[in-house]
Structure 1
Amino acid sequence: MPLALGAFIVPLIVACAMFMENVDSTVIVTSLPVIARDFGTDPIVLKLAVTSYVIGLGVFIPICGWVADRFGSRTVFRTAIGVFVAGSLMCAASTSLATLVAARFVQGVGGALMVPVGRIIIFRSMPKSEFIRAVNYLTVPALLGPVVGPPIGGFITTYLHWRLIFFVNVPIGILGIWLTNRHIQNLREPHPGRLDGFGFALSASGAALMMLGLSLIGSDLVSGAATFTMCALGAALLFAYWFYASRVEAPVLDLRLLRIPSFHASVVGGSLFRIGLGAVPFLLPLALQEGLGMTAFQSGSITCASAFGAIFMKAIASPVLARFGFRAVLMFNAALAGCAIAVYGLFFPGTPHWLIWCVVLVGGIFPSLQFTSLNSLAYADIPMRDISRATGVSSVIQQLSLGLGVTIAGIVLQISHVLQGHKAIVWSDFWPAFLVVGLFSCASIPVTSRLPHGSGDELARGKRGNA
């Protein structure tokens, strides 16, 4: 393959896979209230369809690098696309909440291998002179997915049928597999080393049980005793992993990296922030449809406004960081983001749609700046030899915190609904949930305030030229 063609086609293939995942994650949240009515279940319980995907994604990310080295990046990448598409078809064929949750978990497993292995392919197959161009290609799906996903999902759900939203992935996936076979080399490491199977079993089963147990609170799928048992067992397994990982040389998730102040602030503080922001894609469409009576298409046309705010902020994030520094931005911006989330709870029937759109647009600005800051700061003081391990720790905790945000929002919404005594969900049930998840975003401030003054300043100044 000519170098010029490879510099274009390989990043494009990976970008298409990322676009498929980004669109899928945004179209389904717009359709959840309609899916709930078809299944005859409470819309709040449909949070399981979101968290099950995050569980599949989070628990399998730690082994994606080893699997790619062992079986070859092309083999794993195309298999991951196939698994993701198969999960999409299973979602379309689902006839109950349980089958939809299982299908979403399958999608999560595919996504866990697809996107990280795609990044590995980029950095192993591209010359260093083409890295910046390749990374620019990869940012496009992250920006466009939240823009086109909600309106597409809303349109299909309102005017066609919600099952059709899952068929959007099929042609993209088939094309991706075909292009992968033609243009991506099957690179692998001859000796990838030993996989920490015991550590993976502890961390994966503990996280899965803990997240699933929390997600089942308030549902009728299992008894309260079973839910408590799952949470307790999951917590015990995670504690056992923490004890185990501190005593082995190369654990699957090296939690000792959290001793680095900048990495600790990015991962721990960032996770508290992501709990708040992870709830919004689930909570806001539900509030607009169930609380304000909008159609799925109207809801999707409004929720995509936050993506425009995010795109605007990405254009000016580097100068902002260079001017004020990471510590000040992370602290003050977290407060602004938390307030923006809480304001969503003030929407009431009769609020003009254009006003809601503008509020959501502004609300997308602060999370974008926070994510840019957190993701940049994460590697400020990480030695080159530890970047791979740091990426695994950061990615898993990020994904699980996003899922935890959905779970917490659902629990608070259920409590609010019961306490207010409404037969069906109404607009006034939502403000406590938006307030609580907004406070989680603000809870990251004490963590980031411990950063030494000047942390990441060299990185921020270096980013000025890339603005």
Structure 2
Amino acid sequence: MTSHPLDERTARILPWLVAVAFFMQTLDGTILNTALPAMAADLAEDPLRMQGVVIAYMLTVALLIPASGWIADRFGTRRIFFSAILLFSVGSLLCALSLSLPQLIGARIVQALGGALMMPVGRLVVLRAYPRSELVRVMSLVTIPGLIGPLLGPTLGGWLVEYASWHWIFLINLPVGALGAWFALRFMPDLRGAQRSQFDTLGFLLFGAAMLQITIALEGLGDLGMPTARVLLLLFGGAACLAAYWLRAGRIERPLFSPTLFNTRSFAVGILGNLFGRLGSGALPFLVPLLLQVALGYSPAEAGMSMIPLALAAMAIKPLAKGLIDRFGYRCLLVGNTLLLGALIASLGVTGEDTPLALLLAQLALIGACNSLQFSAMNTIALIDLQDQQTSSGNSLLAVVVQLAMGLGVASAAALLGGFSTPQRDVLGAFQLTFLCLGGLSMLAAAIFLQLGKRDGSSGHLPPRVQAPD
């Protein structure tokens, strides 16, 4: 991959510009969850029915990621990156001005249109603008905010809700977005693809329709307002669109995602493991703040600060991930860690009003460490054995699956929570059963990782230009 030379000033500022965009996106992904009960009260909604605010963002991001590279090549990285920051900022303002749940969900979709383009396009610019020898250093700088956002987000969200209002969790994006947009126009290089490639529009529509219908069907189960017949129609419609996509992708030259990627066993295991293994962990940022505030009576600030051990443990285990993988191998580590993570998620099902705070914080810290190790291992195993010409497509599909799995996790958690919420059962009991079920479902993913061979993942290290999403 050839690099485009930058002047010295741009070379210094560009990583910080991409890092700030990454920080805005990761902060927004975690700051919202602590504020959901307060938002529900202000909008006259049930706090247990607010999952649409989270799912709308994740699903929109998942839908647009496959098109991000083509859009940047077609219209130029400067214009698209600037537009992404602008859309994210406008969406944030619309979120703060929302007076109803449908308005808020619509505003989150606008916000996600920007969020879906910011990081893929920013990463693409870094890959094209810096020589190979600089990529590890630059990408390390860019991804640091991705670790800080989850640490700062829940606490900041809790404090803003308790001492200001939930609107400020969106308004704080405006000055950062304005500064980022100005820097993007001034310092973002305008890079385009060497040759214009044809985009698989029909494949994009089929794949997107499948994800949209399946996710809406699961959310319909959680909301308890959608008739069973409509849920079944959406599920079958989504399955039909997905089948049509894969049949078509197998016979055209340049599909959105080639089925031949799944000829590599480690990639197939990594993708399917991500899809099913994240159902429990993807729901935690949504469920835990609700559990603490709605069922256990914590204040927003207390609930936010309770999430700090989870983020700190996730950061602490990162440097140890490679050594643990080298010591135990991908198959052994992923099977054992999946079972342990599922058991820890299920252990939240015995949390009650008399549970000591120290024990709860220890549980969350252990979950954070196992989560972080799980993500590092299963993302890397998905990409490490791919051929060079497959890494770009494989990395894009992995990023889509990560977002989709987190959205499905929230939708599944909401469906379980709604199903268990009956007049005969208190709210805490519904949360406990939901955690027990999610933990059990997460443990089933160990059967997927058992399909790895002893030598899968032995190809070596990922090349610097491939960055597995967290």
Asked if Structure 1 and Structure 2 have the same fold, meaning a TM-score greater than 0.5 normalized by the shorter chain, the answer is: yes
Deviations 1:88-130 (A, max 9, x none): 1111111111111111122222111111111001101112221
Q: Does 1:449 align with 2:453?
A: no
**Deviation at 1:461?**
12
Distance 1:220 1:331, change over 3 A: closer
Q: Distance in 1 between matches of 2:80 and 2:463?
A: 35
Contact 2:341 2:371 (C-alpha < 8 Å) held by counterparts: yes
Give me the TM-score of the superposition, normalised by structure 1. Answer: 0.94
Checking the alignment, whether the CA contact within 8 Å between 1:23 and 1:149 is kept in structure 2 is: yes
- 1:139 deviates by 2.1
Instruction: Give 1:252's aligned residue.
Output: 256
Moved more, 436-445 or 196-205: 436-445
Aligned residues: 460
Provide the residue aligned with 1:401 in structure 2. Answer: 405
**Pick from 416, 419, 424: which aligns with 1:421?**
424
Aligned-pair identity in percent equals: 35
Instruction: State the partner residue of 2:92.
Output: 88
**More displaced stretch, 250-259 vs 9-18:** 250-259
| Residue 230 of structure 1: how far off its partner (Å) | 3.2
CA contact (8 A) 2:310 2:364 kept: yes
Correspondence 1:307 to 2:311:
yes
Q: Are residues 1:380 and 2:384 paired?
A: yes
Which residue is equivalent to 2:220?
216
Matches within 5 A, 1:235-246: 235-246=239-250
**Residue identity matched to 1:442:** M
- How big is each residue's C-alpha offset from its partner over 1:416-446, in whole Å with a ceiling of 9 and x where there is no partner? 112x624xx6222211111121123212211
What is the rounded CA distance, in whole Å, between the counterparts of 1:313 and 1:355 in structure 2? 20
Residue from 25, 36, 43 that aligns with 1:21: 25
Q: Is the contact between residue 327 and residue 454 of structure 1 (CA under 8 Å) also seen in structure 2?
A: no
TM-superposed deviation, 1:458: 4.8
Instruction: Determine the C-alpha separation between the residues in 2 that align with 1:21 and 1:109.
Output: 12
1:202 and 2:206 are equivalent in the alignment: yes
Q: Which residue of 2 aligns with 1:430?
A: 431
CA apart distance, 1:149: 0.3
Shift of 1:5: 3.9
Whole-angstrom CA distance in 1 between matches of 2:43 and 2:236: 30
How far residue 217 of structure 1 moved from its aligned partner, in angstroms, is 2.1
Distance of 2:165 and 2:191 partners within structure 1: 41
Look up the SS of the partner of 1:162 in the other structure.
coil
- What is the rounded CA distance, in whole Å, between the counterparts of 1:262 and 1:93 in structure 2? 46
Runs of 4+ with deviation above 6 angstroms: 460-463
Structure-1 residue corresponding to 2:467: none
Residues 1:167 and 2:168 are matched in the alignment: no
Deviation at 1:162, TM superposition (A): 0.5
Contact 2:222 / 2:412 at 8 angstroms: preserved in 1? no
In structure 1, distance between residues paired with 2:181 and 2:143:
21
Indicate the residue corresponding to 2:125 in structure 1: 121
Measured against aligned partners, the alpha-carbon deviations of 1:236-293 in whole angstroms (never above 9, x if no partner) come to 2222212221221111122331221110111111221111111101111111111100
Q: Tell me which residue corresponds to 1:351.
A: 355
TM-score normalised according to structure 2 size? 0.94
Whole-angstrom CA distance in 1 between matches of 2:294 and 2:21:
32
Q: Is contact 2:349-2:433 (8 Å) kept?
A: yes
Offset at residue 225 of structure 1 (A): 4.4
SS in 2 for 1:457: coil
Matched residue SS, 2:255: coil
Distance verdict in 2 for CA 1:175–1:108, change over 3 Å: same
Residues 223 and 415, structure 2, Cα contact 8 Å, conserved in 1: no
**Of 438-447 and 57-66, the range deviating more from structure 2:** 438-447
- Conserved in 1, the CA contact under 8 Å of 2:380 and 2:462? no
Asked whether the equivalents of residues 223 and 418 of structure 2 are also in contact (C-alpha less than 8 Å), the reply is: no
Q: Rate the CA distance shift 1:22–1:157 in 2: closer, same or farther, 3 A.
A: same
Further displaced range: 169-178 or 280-289: 169-178
CA deviation vs aligned residue, 1:117-175 (integer Å, no higher than 9, x gap): 11001101112221111111122111101100001000011111101110111111111
Alignment match of 1:140 (pick from 144, 148, 161): 144
> Once the 2 structures are TM-superposed, how far is the Cα of residue 220 of structure 1 from its aligned partner?
6.3
* 1:106 has 2:106 as partner: no
Residues 272 and 180 of structure 1, relative CA distance in 2, 3 Å threshold: same
